[in-house]
Amino acid sequence: MARASVLVQRLTPADARELWELIDRNRRHLSRFGDDIAGNYLTFESVRDRIDKPPQGVWEYRCAIRDAETAQMVGFVKLTLLPHLYRVVEIGYWLGEEFTGLGYATKAVRFLTHLALTDPEFAYVQVRAWVHSDNLDSRKVLARAGYTEHGPDPDRDGLVRFSISPAGAENLS
């Protein structure tokens, strides 16, 4: 796999087993910057239930990142509607460690950001992201995807805020 070509597809119940296996073999990798991704999913049932029964009152668009040629699941990316703001979503993402360094995350973030800001079905006015200041790989993903860095967020300890608006998404497709 010298180059990554990606598919970003909304999660369905049929994805639960593959997602669980990807999380379960990447617990240390997913916890490097204090994220609780792996800690939220200690059993297969917890992954399956999260897909089957999304929490009430939270709008999320949760997707698998897949290699376009093999269809193997390589990671995860999601949009979450931020409450109390007008049509602003947060993006979050991760890859299995064995799939890093190939461009999957950058391509998936570019794709979903473009969709969020330009597709009439979504048409959000801004996408935001928060990244631990030491997470240089993640900061580089957002920079490559056209996001603007705003520096440390005083309301979120240790996290740097990024954002992109529709004008910034014009060249992302």
Ligand X SMILES: CC(C)(COP(=O)(O)OP(=O)(O)OC[C@H]1O[C@@H](n2cnc3c(N)ncnc32)[C@H](O)[C@@H]1OP(=O)(O)O)[C@@H](O)C(=O)NCCC(=O)NCCS
Residue 41 in contact with ligand X, rule: CB under 6 A: no
Closest C-alpha to 82, from 9, 27, 161, 144:
161
- Quick one: 65 or 117, whose CB is closer to ligand X? 65
- Say how many C-beta atoms besides its own lie within 10 A of residue 49's C-beta: 14
Residue 147 in contact with ligand X, rule: CB under 6 A: no
Contact 137, 101 (CB under 8 A): no
Residue 94 in contact with ligand X, rule: CB under 6 A: yes
- Say how many C-beta atoms besides its own lie within 10 A of residue 47's C-beta: 23
Residue 104 in contact with ligand X, rule: CB under 6 A: yes
64 Cα distance to chain centroid: 9
Stretch that binds ligand X, among 55-63, 78-86, 97-105, 110-118 (CB under 6 A): 97-105
List 81, 103, 146, 168, residue binding ligand X (CB under 6 A): 103
Closest C-alpha to 65, from 121, 5, 16, 122:
5
Query: What letter does residue 13 receive in the DSSP assignment?
Result: G
List 8, 47, 79, 95, residue binding ligand X (CB under 6 A): 95
Residue 89 in contact with ligand X, rule: CB under 6 A: no
Binding footprint of ligand X on the chain (CB under 6 A) = 3-4, 29-30, 32-33, 35, 93-95, 100-106, 131, 135, 137-138, 140-141
